[in-house]
Structure 1
Amino acid sequence: MGTVSSYATTEGKRYRVRYRKPDNAQTDKRGFKTKREAELFLSSVEVAKARGEFIDGTAARAQIGVLGPVWLKHQGHLKPSSLLPLEVAWRLYVEPRWSTVPVADVRHSDVQSWVMDMSAKRGATTVIRAYGVLASIMDGAVKDRRILSNSARGVNLPRKVTKPHAYLTPQQVSDLSVAAGDHGTLLLVLAYTGLRWGEAVALRVKDLDMLRRRANVTTNAVEVNNRIEVGTPKSHKRRSVPFPATLAPALAKACEGKAREDLVFAGASGSYLRRAKTDAGWFGVAVKRAGLPRMTLHDLRHTAASLAVSSGANVKAVQRMLGHASASMTLDVYADLFEDDLDEVAGRLDHLLISTDVGRMWARSGNSVNLN
Structure 2
Amino acid sequence: MGADRIEGEMGSIDAYESAKGRRYRVRWRDPEHQQREKRGFRTKREAEQYAATVEVAMMRGTYFEPSQSRVTVGELAIDWLANKEQALKPSSFSPIRIAWRVYVEPRWAATPIGAIRPSAVEKWIREVSLGKAVTVRVRPGNGGKPRSAGVVLRALGILAGILDVAVRDGRIPSNPARGASNLPRKATKKRRRYLTNEEVFRFAGRAPDDMRSVLILTLAYTGIRWGEAVALTVGDINLERGRLSIHQTATEVDGIIHVGPPKSWEARSVPFPAFLAPRLKALASGKKRSALLFPARAGGYLARPSTAQNGQSWWLTALRDAELEHLTPHDLKHTAASLAVSAGANVKALQRMLGHKSAAMTLDTYADLFEDDLGSVAERLNERVLSESGGELWIQRQVVQLDPQSSH
Q: Considering the TM-score relative to the shorter chain, is it more than 0.5?
A: yes
Alpha-carbon contact 1:319-1:326 (below 8 Å) kept: yes
Give percent identity, aligned residues only: 49
Structure 2 partner of 1:137: 162
d(CA) in 2 for partners of 1:219, 1:36: 67
Alpha-carbon contact 2:66-2:172 (below 8 Å) kept: no
Deviation at 1:301, TM superposition (A): 0.9
Say which SS state the counterpart of residue 298 (structure 2) adopts.
helix
Structure 2 partner of 1:176: 203
Deviation at 1:206, TM superposition (A): 0.3
d(CA) in 1 for partners of 2:219, 2:115: 50
Q: Does 1:311 align with 2:321?
A: no
d(CA) in 2 for partners of 1:363, 1:273: 69
- Which of 279, 292, 295 is equivalent to 2:324? 292
Structure 1 partner of 2:14: 4
Could you tell me which amino acid in structure 1 is paired with residue 228 of structure 2?
A: E
d(CA) in 2 for partners of 1:357, 1:119: 67
Structure 2 partner of 1:194: 223
d(CA) in 1 for partners of 2:319, 2:265: 32
Deviation track 1:131-154 (CA, whole Å, cap 9, x = no partner) reads: 211111111112212123323222
Spell out the pairing of 1:78-89 with structure 2 (5 A cutoff): 78-89=88-99
- Which of 162, 167, 191 is equivalent to 2:194? 167
Structure 1 partner of 2:272: 243
Alpha-carbon contact 1:167-1:303 (below 8 Å) kept: yes
d(CA) in 2 for partners of 1:151, 1:112: 9
Structure 2 partner of 1:227: 256
Q: Does 1:158 align with 2:184?
A: yes
Deviation at 1:292, TM superposition (A): 0.5
Q: Matched residue pairs, number?
A: 364
Q: CA 1:268/1:346 → structure 2, altered by over 3 Å: closer, same or farther?
A: closer
Unaligned runs of 5+ in 1: 367-372
Deviates more, 1:218-227 or 1:117-126: 117-126
Deviation track 1:14-72 (CA, whole Å, cap 9, x = no partner) reads: 44333333333323223334443233222322332343332112212222111011101
Structure 2 partner of 1:370: none
d(CA) in 2 for partners of 1:124, 1:365: 63
Could you tell me which amino acid in structure 2 is paired with residue 335 of structure 1?
A: A
Q: CA 1:364/1:148 → structure 2, altered by over 3 Å: closer, same or farther?
A: farther
Say which SS state the counterpart of residue 259 (structure 2) adopts.
strand
d(CA) in 2 for partners of 1:14, 1:360: 98
Q: CA 1:355/1:67 → structure 2, altered by over 3 Å: closer, same or farther?
A: farther
Q: CA 1:45/1:321 → structure 2, altered by over 3 Å: closer, same or farther?
A: same
Deviation at 1:250, TM superposition (A): 1.1
Deviation track 1:76-135 (CA, whole Å, cap 9, x = no partner) reads: 121111111111111111222222332233333332332233233211221221121111
Structure 1 partner of 2:139: none
Alpha-carbon contact 2:223-2:336 (below 8 Å) kept: yes
Deviates more, 1:291-300 or 1:199-208: 291-300
Q: CA 1:246/1:149 → structure 2, altered by over 3 Å: closer, same or farther?
A: same
Alpha-carbon contact 2:15-2:22 (below 8 Å) kept: no
Alpha-carbon contact 2:223-2:334 (below 8 Å) kept: yes
Spell out the pairing of 1:91-102 with structure 2 (5 A cutoff): 91-102=101-112
Deviation at 1:362, TM superposition (A): 6.8
Deviation track 1:210-253 (CA, whole Å, cap 9, x = no partner) reads: 11111100100000110000000011011111111111111111
Structure 1 partner of 2:120: 110
Structure 2 partner of 1:122: 147
Deviation at 1:297, TM superposition (A): 1.4
Q: Does 1:70 align with 2:95?
A: no
Structure 1 partner of 2:334: 302
Alpha-carbon contact 1:262-1:270 (below 8 Å) kept: no
d(CA) in 2 for partners of 1:34, 1:86: 51
RMSD of aligned C-alpha atoms?
A: 2.6
